[in-house]
Amino acid sequence: MRNQFSLIIAAFCLMWVSTQAQAQAVKRGEAAKQGKTAQASKAAKVSKAAKVSKTAPALKAGKVFRDCPACPDMVVIPSGSFDMGSPDSEDGRDDDEGPVHRVNVAAFALGKTEITRGQFAAFVKKTKYSAGEQCWTHGGGKVEERVGNWRELGHAQDDKHPVACINWNDAQAYAKWLSRTTGKKYRLPTEAEWEYVARGNAATARYWGDNPDEACGYANVADATGQAQIRGASSWSVHKCTDGFAYTAPAGSFKANAFGLKDMLGNVWEWTEDSYHDSYKDAPVDGSAWQGDGAKRVLRGGSWNNSPRIVRTAVRNSYKPELRYSFFGFRLARKLP
Cα–Cα distance for residue pair 311/181, rounded to 1 Å: 34
pLDDT-derived band at 141, boundaries 50, 70, 90: confident
Which DSSP symbol is given to 268?
Answer: S
pLDDT, average across residues 162-175: 98
Q: What's the gap between Cα 239 and its chain centre?
A: 28
Q: Tens of pLDDT along 261-293?
A: 999 999 999 999 999 999 999 999 999 999 999
Q: Domain for residue 117, yes or no?
A: yes
Q: Domain for residue 45, yes or no?
A: no
- pLDDT value of position 267: 98
Burial 33-53 (b: 16+ CB within 10 A, else e): eeeeeeeeeeeeeeeeeeeee
Helices within 71-158 (DSSP H only): 117-127
61, 76, 77, 211, 257 from 103: Cα distances, Å: 19, 19, 15, 26, 20
- The answer to whether the CB of 194 falls within 8 A of the CB of 101 is no
Which carries the bigger pLDDT value, residue 248 or residue 337? 248
- pLDDT value of position 41: 45
Cα–Cα distance for residue pair 137/194, rounded to 1 Å: 26
- The answer to whether the CB of 134 falls within 8 A of the CB of 147 is yes
Q: Domain for residue 39, yes or no?
A: no
Beta bridge partners of 172: none
Question: Residue 139 burial by CB count (10 A; 0-12/13-18/19+): exposed, middle or buried?
Answer: middle
> Which CATH number fits the domain that encloses residue 319?
3.90.1580.10
Q: Domain for residue 95, yes or no?
A: yes
Cα–Cα distance for residue pair 195/222, rounded to 1 Å: 21
Cα–Cα distance for residue pair 114/72, rounded to 1 Å: 9
pLDDT higher than 80, residue 53: no
Look at strands 108-111 and 74-77 and give their pairing: antiparallel
Strand, coil or helix: what is 41? helix
Q: Domain for residue 9, yes or no?
A: no
Nearest CA among 142, 164, 169 for reference residue 151:
164
Q: Domain for residue 40, yes or no?
A: no
The lowest-confidence range among 33-42, 194-203, 239-248 is 33-42
CA dihedral of 149, 249, 70, 334, whole degrees rounded to 10: -90
The amino acid at 142: K
pLDDT, average across residues 126-144: 95
Number of domains comprising the chain: 1
pLDDT, average across residues 226-251: 97
Give all strands of the β-sheet with 186-187 in edge-to-edge order: 64-65, 74-77, 108-111, 333-334, 186-187
Q: Domain for residue 55, yes or no?
A: no
- pLDDT value of position 140: 84
Q: Tens of pLDDT along 293-308?
A: 999 999 999 999 999 9
Provide the residue range defining the domain that includes 302.
61-334
Count the helix, strand and coil residues of the chain and give each as a percent rounded to the nearest 5: 35, 15, 50
- The answer to whether the CB of 290 falls within 8 A of the CB of 270 is no
Q: Domain for residue 142, yes or no?
A: yes
Q: Taking all residues of the chain, what is their mean pLDDT, rounded to a whole number? A: 88
Cα–Cα distance for residue pair 285/192, rounded to 1 Å: 9
